């Protein structure tokens, strides 16, 4: 099923410029698809998707950003103050083109979601090792992600999977950390076009592409 989703996503995007994975629930409410498709998208939102289509898929965002890149944030579970673990959420960024929102250039989630075609679920112990075994030399890294933080001086790390989508270079970033309790887990996944401005992601969350 997961491999079928990947194939359908690639085929649909080639034909229409964007595609949804899954469908809306009855009565107009949206059925969140907790699936990450590397190099394509997350939660049924693929790179290049027009903003009105994102709203039809996910509903009204609970947070809207501003600036050169417009960001919107959707969350499906209440976040307690002492939460330790994943949040069911998606962040979507897109540029403005001639005063209008362009297609999605960046999408991310900190959620514990399935990675299509791999049988791996993020935010589970051992998933990082499983990801490295699955992709082998195609998975680049680890790369450091900012300065060490916290009292223990732990370091943010990420791995990168290069690819192409809609004829453009993309990358999927799998974030983790050296903090021992979670060092063997994937804690956040992002999918974005490489480049800047209208040609790629402008998200402050994104990192440079290391295309192999």
CB 210 within 8 A of CB 160: yes
Q: What pLDDT score was predicted for residue 4?
A: 34
* Alpha carbons 189 and 158: distance in angstroms, whole number: 9
Name the residue range of residue 131's domain: 2-78+87-199
**Residue (of 92, 89, 26) closest to 55 by Cα position:** 92
At 162 the three-state DSSP class reads strand
> Does residue 187 fall inside a structural domain?
yes
Q: What pLDDT score was predicted for residue 134?
A: 98
Q: What pLDDT score was predicted for residue 67?
A: 57
Q: What percent of the chain has pLDDT over 90?
A: 48
- Cis amide linkage into residue 142, ω under 30° from 0: yes
CB 212 within 8 A of CB 163: no
Cα atoms in the 13 Å half-sphere on the side-chain side of 8: 12
> Does residue 137 fall inside a structural domain?
yes
> Does residue 209 fall inside a structural domain?
no
> Does residue 210 fall inside a structural domain?
no
**Residue (of 72, 42, 48, 77) closest to 60 by Cα position:** 72
Q: What pLDDT score was predicted for residue 171?
A: 96
> Does residue 31 fall inside a structural domain?
yes
Q: Measure Cα distances from 177 to 38, 94, 143 in Å.
A: 20, 27, 11
> Does residue 205 fall inside a structural domain?
no
Q: What pLDDT score was predicted for residue 160?
A: 97
> Does residue 208 fall inside a structural domain?
no
Low-confidence ranges of the chain (pLDDT < 70): 1-32, 66-69, 78-86, 196-199, 212
> Does residue 204 fall inside a structural domain?
no
Structurally, how many domains does the chain consist of? Answer: 1
Query: Per-residue pLDDT tens for 171-202?
Result: 999 999 998 888 999 999 999 999 765 667 77
Q: What pLDDT score was predicted for residue 197?
A: 59
Backbone angles phi, psi at 164, to 5 degrees: -135, 145
């Amino acid at each position: 099923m997961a491999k079928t989703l990947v194939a359908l996503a690639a085929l649909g995007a080639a034909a229409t410029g964007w595609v949804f994975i899954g469908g809306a629930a009855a009565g107009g409410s949206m059925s969140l698809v907790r699936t990450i498709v590397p190099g394509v998208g997350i939660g049924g939102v693929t790179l290049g998707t027009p903003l009105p289509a994102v709203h039809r898929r996910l509903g009204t965002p609970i947070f809207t950003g501003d600036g050169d890149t417009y960001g919107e944030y959707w969350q499906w579970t209440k976040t307690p103050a002492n939460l330790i673990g994943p949040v069911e959420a998606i962040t979507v960024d897109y540029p403005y083109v001639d005063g209008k929102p362009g297609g999605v250039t960046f999408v991310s989630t900190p959620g514990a979601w399935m990675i299509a075609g791999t049988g791996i679920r993020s935010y589970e112990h051992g998933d990082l090792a499983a990801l490295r075994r699955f992709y082998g030399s195609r998975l680049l890294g680890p790369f450091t992600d900012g300065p060490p933080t916290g009292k223990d001086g732990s370091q943010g790390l990420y791995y990168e999977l290069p690819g192409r989508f809609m004829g453009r270079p993309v990358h999927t970033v799998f974030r983790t950390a050296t903090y021992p309790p979670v060092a063997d887990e994937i804690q956040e996944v992002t999918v974005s076009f490489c480049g800047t401005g209208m040609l790629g992601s402008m998200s402050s969350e994104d990192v440079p592409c290391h295309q192999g």
